[in-house]
Amino acid sequence: MRLTIRTNLAMRCLMFCAVNNDRIVRKHDIANLCNASENHLAQVVNTLAQQGFIETQRGRSGGMRLARPMDQIGVGEVLRAFEATLPFAECFDPEANTCPLSEACLFRDALSLAIEAFYRAMDDWTIGDLVRDNAALDRLLALPGGRGLPICGRGEARMPPPEPRVAEPRIPAPDARVS
């Protein structure tokens, strides 16, 4: 079995959001750290939002974050959202099936059992299970303190306050007249 690039990006995106759970994260940051095209990632983010895995916010302080606690997002649920509509083999799609053996072949039954077992195993895992106490993943995916936007409230992100500026003394130009 091989997962599609979209499914792989979806999992990376969710793990990225989970590692940075206290921040609004930007698609650009995920794309850079996960070696993904921003355009391809945009499609994945759209599906994740439609399926209720993430919340998105537009605008200058926009980005995304998990829509539910990481322990309530099942890996099997995510994989089904991205993979379930794709036929695993030609014989799983009656409209495209040209296999002359399909009437008598038991291979499809064996594949069906294997796929069901795979999803059952994935149902035992959550996004939280994948990221919790995973220091190596934290090192790879955690945004530095100044990147991302802190979450200030449900559905609200605010820019951090600007650094205080020290006013420099103004020195009058040499030809300025003092009256």
Q: How close are the terminal C-alpha atoms of the chain, in Å? A: 85
| pLDDT of 131 strictly over 60 | yes
In this prediction, residue 121 has a pLDDT band, given cuts at 50, 70 and 90, of very high
Mind listing the pLDDT tens digit for each residue in 19-71?
A: 998 889 999 999 988 888 889 999 999 999 999 999 998 888 789 999 999 99
pLDDT band at 167; cut points 50, 70, 90: very low
Question: What pLDDT, on the 0 to 100 scale, is given for residue 146?
Answer: 42
Q: pLDDT averaged over the chain?
A: 80
Q: What is the mean pLDDT of residues 80-104?
A: 76
| Helix 107-123 × helix 75-83 angle, to 10° | 140
| Domains of the chain and CATH, by start | 5-155 (1.10.10.10)
Over residues 79-108, the mean pLDDT reads: 77
Q: What pTM was computed for the model?
A: 0.74
Higher pLDDT, 79 or 156: 79
Neighbours of 141 (CB within 10 A): 21
